């Protein structure tokens, strides 16, 4: 099993890969034997199916019946009509549909299921794949009204991107002949108005109802909406294409030669990479990329698919693996959902490959100079704003020495604000990572104040006045917060006893963060702490400088703290990234002390 995280020098990162990246189609072809394995395993084990010790049907995965339907439909539709296995597999599909008919299947599961039925109908296979009584039950159950409140057409306790799910289901029901187009028309209008309202002037959707949380979904959503139009036969509007172009720009600016993807926010792992596939394949199909961009977006997509098969797929488990070997993901994508995660990820690979094929790239040999093109054509620094007003949100991208740092100022709203993937940090694969569902116990790279009254404060959510400017060969990005976040609640609570001015200095080979804290009145601090979970190894400590013998980060130096130490992470679950174990934990502390004057804390990370 491949658990070690490779560390490469900058020259290696920018060099051509040691082997030629295969065409996207060739990598995606490997999905079908995986689907066939799960098909046969389902037929044999049925509701007792077990993968890596987990019983799939006891997972409480409320999307699972739909994911099974769509994944197995992908396999059936790939078989030639004359394949002698097809009649028996269609009967097995019908049996499995009856097996899962009474199981919970919500929202995305409904979308996956009805999409599978529509594709089978288009291929002339539906009547053989689903028996009449089962189909009639599905007609009643696969309904968007189960999560949309009528007559207001409001989502029932769901995030904004579910308007797209509801619209797609309504549109597919119409195409199945199950209802007229009135519901889909209202939902389409609701979806577009909601998108416009919460994406504001910059075109990226807030994940909340205006509370200021942005992540990969905010960038992906325009592509998802365009995909819904394409799959249901609607013409994509110029306005949507313009939004998609903005998303494609961020995707290209974030692209890496290794095929890694988004590094900030929740639900990453392979989904941080397939999100790139969705954005760029849709952009290529709709013609919003230049010919040159299309060539290299395809090369990047081919690397992503190859990486899925080489890194994320575990041949020993015969499954995607987001959980073993030091990897960690959100509870939402826990191992109990292992079967459904296989089906949804393989479907994304297949669907985006089909989109690339329609864009004229089937079996095309990828350009092998992707790293050089990214270095040559993408800006070394870019700032994409998401929101501006009472609080600012933005994504700054810094490309240096083969790394892509995503300095993501995206934190707000309930549920995720205390988790490190949403902290305002320069995330980069193998350099700086958040920990899924981390909570605030070990706030990655953010000073944490523990006050004498027991309050814990960190600087996460109330950013204002984001500014950037060039400085020498690098860039400065700054912002302020008039209050820190008081930890302990589901929503970020402002605590104005301390405010902060923050500056990031991005230089070739080094990133420095400087925080200047100011107390509104003299304040008793019981403890001030700072922690850094690093992938580097072989740490030695001299004063407040930690040097590493191996890894991308060469040294980490802290000013303004009393003392620092470095210890092996020793496999701790508290220090696991989506793609592997962090190796060293640097811990710095001060206190107790009385805060009467401005306090400056800074750290500098040097990397190769």
pLDDT at site 370: 97
**Secondary structure element (H or E) that encloses residue 577, with its range:** strand 576-577
In angstroms, the CA 560 to CA 602 distance is 7
Q: Strands (DSSP E) along 436-536, which ranges?
A: 448-451, 456-458, 463-471, 474-481, 484-486, 493-495, 498-507, 510-519, 523-534
* CA triple 502-506-511, angle to 5 deg: 80
Cα four-point dihedral sign 227, 228, 232, 234? negative
Q: Is 397 helix (H, G, I), strand (E, B) or coil?
A: strand
pLDDT at site 207: 83
- Minimal CA–CA distance to 535: which of 434, 460, 465, 461? 434
Mean pLDDT by 10 residues, the chain (608 residues): 35 50 98 98 96 91 96 98 97 98 96 98 98 98 97 88 91 97 94 86 87 92 93 94 97 97 94 98 98 98 98 97 96 92 97 98 97 98 95 97 97 90 97 96 97 98 97 97 96 97 98 98 98 98 98 98 98 97 98 97 98
Give 82's contacts (C-beta < 8 A, 6+ positions apart).
none
- pLDDT tens-digit readout, 112-132: 999 999 999 999 999 999 999
pLDDT at site 59: 83
Give 431's contacts (C-beta < 8 A, 6+ positions apart).
403, 405, 535, 552, 553, 605, 607
CB-based burial label for 552 (10 Å; 0-12, 13-18, 19+): buried
Crossing angle for the helix pair 291-307 and 338-356, to the nearest 10 degrees: 150
* Max Cα–Cα distance, the chain, nearest Å: 81
**Rounded to the nearest 5°, which phi and psi values hold at 589?**
-140, 155
DSSP character string of 401-424: TTEEEEEEE---STTTTTSGGGSS
In angstroms, the CA 248 to CA 169 distance is 26
Q: Is 511 helix (H, G, I), strand (E, B) or coil?
A: strand
In the DSSP assignment, the letter for residue 4 is P
pLDDT at site 18: 63
**Rounded to the nearest 5°, which phi and psi values hold at 518?**
-130, 130
Tokens of residue 458, six digits:
């960190």
The predicted model scores a pTM of 0.94
Give 488's contacts (C-beta < 8 A, 6+ positions apart).
456
Give 606's contacts (C-beta < 8 A, 6+ positions apart).
509, 510, 553, 554, 555, 556, 557
Tokens of residue 71, six digits:
């994944």
Cis peptide before 94 (omega within 30 of 0): no
Q: Is 358 helix (H, G, I), strand (E, B) or coil?
A: helix
pLDDT at site 466: 98
Q: Checking phi first, is residue 13 left (phi over 0); if not, alpha (psi -120 to 50) or beta?
A: alpha
**Secondary structure element (H or E) that encloses residue 372, with its range:** helix 370-377
pLDDT at site 521: 97
Crossing angle for the helix pair 64-78 and 338-356, to the nearest 10 degrees: 40
In angstroms, the CA 597 to CA 578 distance is 40
- CA 385 to chain CA mean position, Å: 18
CATH architecture of residue range(s) 379-607: Distorted Sandwich (2.70)
How big is the chain by its Cα radius of gyration, in Å? 25
Q: Where are the domains of the chain?
A: 200-378, 379-607
Give 445's contacts (C-beta < 8 A, 6+ positions apart).
423, 425, 432, 513, 530, 531, 532, 603
In angstroms, the CA 40 to CA 12 distance is 42
**Of how many residues is the chain composed?**
608
């Amino acid at each position: 099993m491949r658990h070690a995280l490779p560390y490469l020098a900058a020259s290696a990162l920018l060099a051509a890969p040691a082997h030629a990246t295969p065409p996207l189609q060739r990598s995606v072809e490997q999905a079908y034997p995986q689907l066939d394995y799960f098909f046969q395993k389902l037929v044999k084990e049925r509701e007792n199916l077990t993968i890596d010790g987990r019983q799939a049907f006891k997972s409480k995965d409320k999307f699972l019946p739909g994911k099974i339907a769509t994944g197995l439909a992908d396999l059936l539709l790939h078989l030639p009509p004359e394949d002698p296995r097809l009649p028996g597999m269609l009967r097995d599909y019908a049996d499995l549909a009856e097996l899962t008919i009474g199981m919970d299947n919500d929202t995305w599961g409904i979308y996956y299921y009805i999409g599978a039925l529509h594709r089978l109908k288009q291929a002339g296979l539906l009547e053989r794949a689903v028996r009449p009584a089962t189909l009639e039950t599905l007609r009643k159950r696969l309904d968007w009204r189960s999560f949309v409140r009528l007559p207001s057409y409001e989502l029932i306790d769901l995030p904004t991107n579910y308007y797209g799910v509801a619209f797609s289901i309504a549109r597919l029901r119409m195409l199945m002949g199950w209802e007229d187009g009135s519901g889909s028309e209202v939902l389409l209008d609701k979806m577009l108005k909601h998108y416009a309202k919460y994406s504001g002037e910059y075109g990226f959707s807030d994940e909340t109802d205006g509370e200021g949380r942005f992540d990969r979904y905010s960038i992906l959503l325009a592509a998802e909406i365009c995909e819904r139009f394409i799959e249901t036969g609607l013409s994509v509007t110029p306005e949507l294409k313009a939004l998609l172009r903005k998303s494609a720009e961020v995707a290209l600016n974030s692209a890496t030669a290794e095929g890694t993807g988004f590094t900030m926010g929740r639900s990453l792992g392979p989904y941080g990479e397939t999100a790139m596939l969705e954005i760029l394949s849709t952009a290529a199909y709709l013609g919003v990329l230049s010919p040159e961009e299309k060539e290299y977006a395809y090369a990047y997509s081919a690397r992503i698919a190859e990486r899925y098969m080489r890194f994320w797929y575990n041949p020993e488990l015969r499954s995607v693996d987001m959980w073993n070997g030091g990897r960690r993901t959100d509870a939402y994508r826990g191992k109990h959902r292992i079967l459904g995660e296989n089906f949804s990820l393989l479907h994304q690979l297949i669907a985006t490959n089909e989109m690339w094929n329609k864009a004229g790239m089937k079996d095309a040999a990828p350009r092998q100079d992707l790293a050089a093109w990214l270095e040559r054509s993408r800006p070394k620094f870019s700032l994409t704003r998401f929101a501006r007003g009472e609080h600012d949100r933005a994504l700054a991208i810094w490309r240096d020495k083969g790394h892509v740092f995503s300095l993501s100022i995206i934190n707000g709203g309930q549920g995720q604000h205390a988790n490190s993937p949403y902290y305002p940090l320069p995330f980069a694969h193998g350099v700086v990572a958040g920990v899924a569902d981390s909570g605030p116990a070990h706030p990655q790279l953010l000073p944490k104040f523990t006050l004498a009254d027991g309050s814990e404060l960190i600087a996460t959510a109330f950013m204002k006045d984001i500014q950037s400017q060039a400085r020498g060969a690098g860039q400065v990005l700054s912002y302020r917060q008039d209050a820190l976040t008081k930890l302990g609640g589901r929503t970020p609570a402002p605590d104005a006893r301390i405010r902060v001015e923050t500056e990031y200095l991005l230089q070739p080979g080094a990133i420095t963060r400087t925080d200047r804290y100011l107390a509104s009145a003299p304040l008793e601090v019981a403890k001030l702490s700072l922690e850094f979970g690093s992938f580097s190894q072989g740490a030695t400590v001299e004063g407040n400088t930690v040097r590493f013998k191996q890894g991308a980060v060469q040294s980490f130096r802290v000013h303004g703290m009393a003392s620092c130490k470095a210890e092996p992470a020793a496999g701790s679950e508290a220090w696991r990234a989506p793609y592997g174990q962090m190796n060293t934990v640097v811990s710095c502390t001060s206190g107790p002390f009385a805060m009467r004057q401005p306090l400056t804390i800074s750290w500098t990370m040097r990397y190769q």
